[in-house]
Structure 1
C-alpha cells in the first residue's frame, strides 16, 4: 500500500509522509532541548539551595582543593581532669535510743499511819532524827512512837494467848505437855509403849550382826546387842565376814559368812540387819548404834515395811503429831478474806481428825 491514511477525509501521500516525518523529528528535538534547559535551570536552583540549606555539604564549594580535599577535623578541646573529690567527712550520728516498752509505773500504796508496815518503814527514820538532833521534840516524838508500837505488840500477845487457850487445835499442850511433870509422864507412856511393841516385834523378827575379827569398832556393838536381847527378847545371830571370832563373842554362837552378807546387801562391818523369816531383810546400819538408836530404827523400818501398824508406831512417840498441811488444799483466797469463816473451816476439819 503506497498511501497512508490519517483519516477518512485526509489522504496522505508519500511526499506528505516525508514532510510530516521531518517536522515531527524537529518538533521532538525542540521539545527535548526545552526540557533539558528547564531541567538544568531547576537543578541549578536546587543545588544552590541545597548548598545553602543542607549542613555538611560545604565541600561542594571547595573545588580548588582538588583531590586533597579531606582534612582531619580539628581536635576538640579536652577539659583538664578534675581533682579527686575529698573523702566525705564523717557525720556524727546520734544513737537512736531504744524504744522503751510502754509500762504503767507501779505505785505502791503508802502504808496507813501507825500500822505495822508504817512503823517498819518510818520508825528508824524518827529514831535517827532524834539521835542526830536530840532536841526535846525529836526525842519525845520517837519515844511516843516507840511506845505505841510496844502497846500494839502487847495487845497482839494478849489476844494470841487467848486464842491458843480457847482453840485446842492450836494448843501445844495437846501435842506434848509443856510443864515438866506432864512432859515426864508423856515420856514414860511412850517408853512403855515402845517396850511393849519391841517385845511383840521380837517374837517374829531377829537381829543379824556382821563383824570382823580385826575390826576395833565391832566389839563395842556387842554390849548394845546384849541389852536388846535382854530387855526386848530379840534373837541375835553373829556372822564373821573374815571367818574368825571376836574376843567378845568367842564364847557365843557365831558362824562364818556363807553368802549371807551378799544376800542381805551388807558390804562392810560392823553392820546390823533386821530379819524376819523366811526371807525379809532390812539393813538398820553399817556403823555402831546405841540401844535407843537400835530401838528407834527397828520401829521405824518395821513401820515402813508394814510389819507394825501406824497407830502402834504413833503410840511410841512422846508427841502427838497434828499437822495442818492436809488442810491447805481447801483454803481459798475468799476464805482467807473472812477470818471468822477461815477459823471455822480449820476448827471443823481438825475435829474430824480427832
Structure 2
C-alpha cells in the first residue's frame, strides 16, 4: 500500500471510533421519525429509583345520620298541614276552608288532651314528678302547714342572725307610715330576738323606741331617701344591706332578712351591700 491509502484507512478508523463513542442521535436529528415522536428520557444511574405507587384504599363513607323517629315526622307533617290550612282559611275564609281548619284543630286539641291526661296519671304515681308535692303546695291545708314550717325556719334563722346583727329603722317623727310600721317592728324584735336600732332622720320621736338616735350622717351615707326604711347591719364589720322601704308585714320581714343573709346574695346583687362605719 502506498502512503495515500494508509492515510485514508487511518482517517476512516478514527471517524468510526468517534461515532461509536457519541450518544445516539436525538429524535430531532432523525427526519424519518418526524417531529411528533416522543422519546423517554434516559435513566440516570446515580438517581434513586422512585418508590412504586401503592394502590389507594377507597375512603370510608361517613356514617349516615340515624333515621328520625316516625312520630317526629308525623308531628312535623301535622304541624305543617295545620299551619297551611289555617293560612288558607285566613286568606280565603270560606265556610269550607274554615270548617277544614277547625276539624283539623280539634284533632290536635284531642291529642294534646290525651297527653295531659297521661302526664297527670304519671305524676300521681311518681312523687318526684308531681308538682303538687315538690316545692310550694297548692292544696289549702298543705299550704297552711308549709307556711307554718317556713315561718318557724325563718324565725330560727333570724334569731341566729340576732347574735351579731341588728336592724336599723330609719323614720321621721312626722311620717304616718313610720308610726304605723313601728309597732310591727317592736313586736318583731320581741318575738324573733333581733335588736332594732331606730334612727330619726328629722330628730323627731317614735312611740315604742324611746332611745332612738338622731341621724349623724349614716342616712346620707346609705342614701336613704324614703322612710320608713329597714336595713340589716353587722356592727363589727360595718356591712349593711337594705331590707325594704315602706310598711312591711312580719312575714315580709322574715322572708327578706332570710333572703339577704343567705350565702351567695352578695355575689348575686353586689351593689346592694355597703360598708359603713356604724357609731
Q: TM-score, normalised by structure 1?
A: 0.44
Residue equivalent to 1:149: 108
Shift of 1:176: 3.2
- In structure 2, the CA distance between the partners of 1:292 and 1:178, relative to structure 1 (3 Å rule), is closer
Deviations 1:49-78 (A, max 9, x none): xxxxxxxxxxxxxxxxxxxxxxxxxxxxxx
Q: Aligned with 1:187: secondary structure?
A: helix
The separation in 2 between residues aligned to 1:220 and 1:194, in whole angstroms, is 24
Report the counterpart of residue 38 of structure 1 in structure 2: none
* Segment of structure 1 superposing worse, 188-197 or 255-264: 255-264
4+ residue runs over 4 A deviation = 110-114, 123-131, 141-147, 165-169, 304-307
| Residue 288 of structure 1 pairs with residue 229 of structure 2 | no
**Larger proportion of helix:** 1
Indicate the residue corresponding to 1:260 in structure 2. Answer: 218
**CA deviation map 1:263-322 (0-9, x unaligned):** 545345332221222222222234332322222221111115779xxxxxxxxxxxxxxx
Match of 1:118 in 2: 81
Equivalent residue for 1:272?
A: 230
Gap runs ≥5 in structure 1: 1-109, 308-354
Unaligned runs of 5+ in 2: 1-72, 267-279
Change (3 A) 1:221 1:304: farther
Q: Between Structure 1 and Structure 2, whose CA radius of gyration is higher?
A: 1
1:149 shift after superposition: 3.5
- Check if 1:171 corresponds to 2:134: no
What TM-score does the superposition give when structure 2 sets the normalisation length? 0.55
Which residue, out of 219, 224, 244, partners 2:184? 224
Residue 134 (structure 2) pairs with residue 193 (structure 1): no
1:205-237 C-alpha deviation (Å, 9 max, x unpaired): 111212222333321220221121122122112
1:131–1:241 Cα change, 3 Å: same
* CA RMSD of superposed structures (Å): 3.8
What is the rounded CA distance, in whole Å, between the counterparts of 1:111 and 1:256 in structure 2? 74
- Total equivalences in the alignment: 192
Q: Which residue of 2 aligns with 1:242?
A: 202
Distance 2:92 2:201 in 1: 76
8 Å contact 1:210–1:239 — kept in the other structure? yes
Matched, 1:160 2:119: yes
Shift, 1:153, TM fit: 2.8
Q: Are the equivalent residues in 2 in contact too, given 1:112–1:118 (CA < 8 A)?
A: no
